[in-house]
């Protein structure tokens, strides 16, 4: 009979858990679902309606609109004055040159940070800059400016009606639309509803606990009304907001919670949700796009703050297209027919019109005149495009040549001062598509709150279970690798010391249940922060970002502390002869850890003030606890040392 080792069983169990986890993850972030599977007739009827409405795509300029998006502007009076001057240039020059029907400003209009970059509060001068730039540029006379709040625009705001909520006084839409709202655009043969989703929590506490958007019951009901109005008045819906859907939490009512993705996707007219907030992960994920399982695109736009990005989008004969562009990079080119293969939305667009179209259609813009636009399928033979109606350039083509597979269209645009750009554009007529990258899908399709809770729960178990298991073992664990054997032997000995073991376990268990901060989370209002949410002003905010805050403590403080105390224990048992500078050097790991803790506690003070610093069990009090445990380990009584030495001699 074959004897299966514990290690083999453990490995099989881990592989099984990992495979189940990966299967669920891949299912959640899959982009090949057909949201019309349950009602195939709905797809046929809707696309047939759009096909009849728009007829054939030709060289004419009708049934076409275009608009811009800008996000995370972060106008600041303390840092990077280029944000202000170049935002003024955007309003004065870019908007004038592109002449969009609508501009979406999707949140974080101002920075709202203090000079030290740690504290957060609304700065009136920043809002005045925003207001004056829009007013003096005259941009609202040329287009419809639709702005909405982001989390920075909601820092330190007691209520939506508070005087400090400068969005109501200095933004374009805030005067009439302090929260979510709708704008119907009916022009050039298109009826498009733009719905802004304001998910800023009320009240708005200071950073960092303002990362996740929250839709309360009244706002969910308001959005339901806006959606009904859009479906009655428009053929297409463009949703926009600051937070990605992965960062929006809906409050429950009668055990029912609004699923924001299903809510957006339940309307056949929904085509895209445009957002910001994640700053393209510091520029590491510049193309943060995905097709949600309900069939609409979610497009996060890189920030203006550091990257000076904006988006040009268009709806041409019911087909949505877009391109993200760096500021003052000209010419700007957007191909609207044929559509980019990766961003096709079957059932939401009349994609069959592409194969029936007579002309390639290209929007080309520059701050001077466009000199020429050419197209090629092989980058060798170039065909000149004709200007139909500025800025639409067209070129005849024969779609049947490209009936199967993915093909590439190349566009060369040049303006009158010699600046040029070449765009490579994949397209298909048979439904062949290109896959979205996995990182954007994870960031936009998972639920951030669930991810934060999972990370926190995993780290909590790593802080508790290994110590408990080692505590109940009568003999130290054995490993072939000498260094692993030595480390686990140290920790095993540490768990045998009651005065060390119980404080480590009890503090780790305190973190998910006890208060972390008691302080002035909003000017004039005392609040209490727990792992599971925030209590302030008689309200409960289920802010999931707290879990990430606790995860930092568990990962960078509590886990290293266990290893450092185990190391100090060995020094106490076997290093009595170490003295002077050598002993000081041996304690450098704890000194480094203590420095990290003091820095984290100092951030507490900068973010929430003296009270939060003094009444901060998570950060400040843990400093004293860890010093005490370190001291107790280094000064362990002789009788403990003799007992541990005997245990250490066990084989």
Q: Are strands 332-337 and 319-326 parallel, antiparallel or unpaired?
A: unpaired
pLDDT for 415: 94
Higher per-residue confidence, 490 vs 365: 365
pLDDT at position 407 over 80 = yes
Residue 476: pLDDT band (50, 70, 90) is confident
Q: What is the mean pLDDT of residues 301-330?
A: 96
pLDDT for 31: 63
Higher per-residue confidence, 35 vs 254: 254
Q: What's the rounded Cα separation, in Å, for the pair 77 and 126?
A: 6
Q: What proportions of the chain, in percent to the nearest 5, are helix, strand and coil?
A: 40, 25, 35
Residue 413: both structure tokens together: 């645009």
pLDDT at position 264 over 50 = yes
Higher per-residue confidence, 2 vs 142: 142
Comparing CA positions, the residue from 444, 449, 28, 452 lying closest to residue 213 is 449
Residue 220: both structure tokens together: 């969910």
Q: What is the CA radius of gyration of the chain?
A: 30
pLDDT for 146: 98
Transcribe 17-86 into DSSP letters.
HHHHHHHHHHHHT-----TTGGGHHHHHHHHHHHHHHH----S---SEEEEEEE----B-SSS-THHHHH
pLDDT at position 551 over 50 = yes
pLDDT for 494: 87
Q: What's the rounded Cα separation, in Å, for the pair 70 and 95?
A: 11
Comparing CA positions, the residue from 544, 543, 516, 546 lying closest to residue 528 is 516
pLDDT for 359: 96
pLDDT for 214: 94
Report residue 65: phi and psi, to 5°.
-135, 160
Residue 608: both structure tokens together: 């929430």
Tell me the β-bridge partners of 529.
517, 534
Check if the beta carbon of residue 410 is closer than 8 Å to that of residue 424. yes
Q: Provide the CATH topology of domain 35-55+62-331+341-352.
A: Purple Acid Phosphatase; chain A, domain 2 (3.60.21)
pTM of the model: 0.91
Residue 558: pLDDT band (50, 70, 90) is very high
Give the model confidence (pLDDT) of 106-141 as tens digits.
Answer: 999 999 998 888 889 999 999 999 999 999 999 999
pLDDT for 15: 64
pLDDT at position 480 over 80 = no
pLDDT at position 36 over 60 = no
- The residue to which tokens 């009788």 are assigned: 639
Domain locations along the chain: 35-55+62-331+341-352, 448-648
As a dihedral over the C-alpha atoms of residue 618, residue 620, residue 624, residue 625, rounded to 10 degrees, the angle is 0
């Amino acid at each position: 009979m074959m004897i299966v080792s514990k290690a083999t069983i453990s490995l099989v169990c881990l592989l099984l858990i990992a495979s189940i986890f990966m299967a669920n993850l891949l299912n959640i972030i899959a982009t090949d679902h057909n949201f019309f599977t349950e009602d195939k007739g709905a797809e046929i009827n809707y696309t047939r309606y759009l096909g009849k409405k728009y007829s054939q795509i030709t060289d004419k300029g009708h049934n076409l609109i275009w608009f811009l998006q800008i996000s995370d502007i972060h106008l600041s009076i303390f840092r990077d004055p280029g944000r202000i001057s170049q935002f003024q240039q955007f309003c004065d020059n870019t908007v004038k040159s592109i002449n969009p029907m609508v501009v979406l400003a999707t949140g974080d209009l101002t920075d709202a940070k203090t000079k030290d970059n740690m504290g957060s509060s609304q700065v009136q001068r920043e809002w005045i800059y925003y207001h004056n730039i829009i007013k003096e540029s005259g941009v609202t006379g040329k287009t419809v400016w639709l702005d909405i709040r982001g989390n920075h625009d909601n820092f330190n705001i007691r209520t939506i009606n508070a005087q400090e909520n400068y969005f109501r006084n200095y933004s374009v839409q805030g005067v009439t639309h302090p929260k979510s709202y709708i704008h119907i655009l009916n022009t050039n043969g298109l009826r498009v509803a733009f719905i802004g989703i304001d998910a800023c929590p009320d009240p708005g506490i200071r950073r960092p606990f303002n990362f996740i958007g929250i839709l309360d019951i009244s706002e969910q009901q308001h959005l339901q009304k806006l959606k009904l109005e859009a479906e009655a008045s428009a053929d297409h819906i463009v949703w926009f907001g600051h937070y990605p859907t992965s960062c929006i939490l809906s409050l429950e009512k009668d055990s029912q919670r609004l699923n924001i993705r299903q809510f957006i996707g339940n309307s056949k007219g929904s085509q895209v949700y445009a957002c910001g907030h994640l700053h393209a992960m510091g520029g590491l994920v510049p193309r943060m796009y995905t097709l949600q399982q309900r069939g609409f695109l979610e497009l996060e736009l890189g920030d203006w703050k550091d990257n000076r990005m904006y988006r040009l989008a268009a709806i041409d004969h019911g087909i949505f297209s877009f391109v993200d562009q760096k500021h003052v990079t000209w010419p700007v080119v957007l191909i609207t027919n044929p559509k980019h293969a990766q961003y096709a939305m079957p059932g939401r667009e009349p994609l069959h019109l592409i194969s029936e179209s007579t002309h390639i259609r290209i929007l080309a813009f520059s701050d001077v005149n466009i000199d020429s636009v050419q197209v090629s399928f092989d980058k060798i033979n170039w065909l000149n495009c004709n200007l139909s109606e500025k800025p639409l350039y067209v070129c005849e083509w024969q779609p049947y040549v490209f009936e199967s597979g993915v093909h590439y269209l190349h566009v060369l645009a040049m303006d009158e001062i010699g600046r040029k750009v070449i765009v490579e554009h994949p397209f298909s007529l048979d439904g062949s598509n290109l896959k979205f990258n996995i990182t954007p899908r994870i960031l936009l399709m998972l639920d951030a709150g669930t991810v934060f809770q999972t990370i926190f729960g995993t780290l909590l178990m790593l802080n508790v279970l290994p110590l408990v298991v080692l505590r109940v073992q009568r003999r130290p664990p054995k490993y072939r690798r000498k260094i692993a054997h030595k480390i686990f032997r140290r920790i095993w000995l540490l768990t045998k010391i009651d005065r060390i073991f119980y404080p480590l376990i009890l503090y780790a268990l305190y973190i998910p249940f006890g208060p972390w901060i008691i302080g002035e989370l909003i000017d004039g209002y005392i609040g209490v922060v727990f792992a599971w949410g925030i209590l302030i002003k008689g309200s409960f905010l289920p802010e999931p970002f707290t879990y990430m805050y606790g995860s930092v403590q568990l990962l960078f403080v509590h886990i290293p502390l266990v290893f450092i105390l185990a190391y100090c224990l060995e020094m106490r048992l076997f290093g009595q002869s170490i003295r002077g500078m050598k002993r000081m050097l041996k304690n450098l790991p704890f000194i480094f850890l203590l420095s990290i803790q003091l820095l984290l506690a100092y951030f507490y003070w900068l973010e929430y003030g003296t009270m939060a610093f003094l009444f901060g069990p998570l950060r400040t009090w843990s400093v004293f606890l860890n010093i005490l445990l370190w001291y107790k380990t280094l000064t362990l009584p002789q009788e403990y040392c003799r007992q541990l030495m005997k245990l250490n001699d066990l084989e």
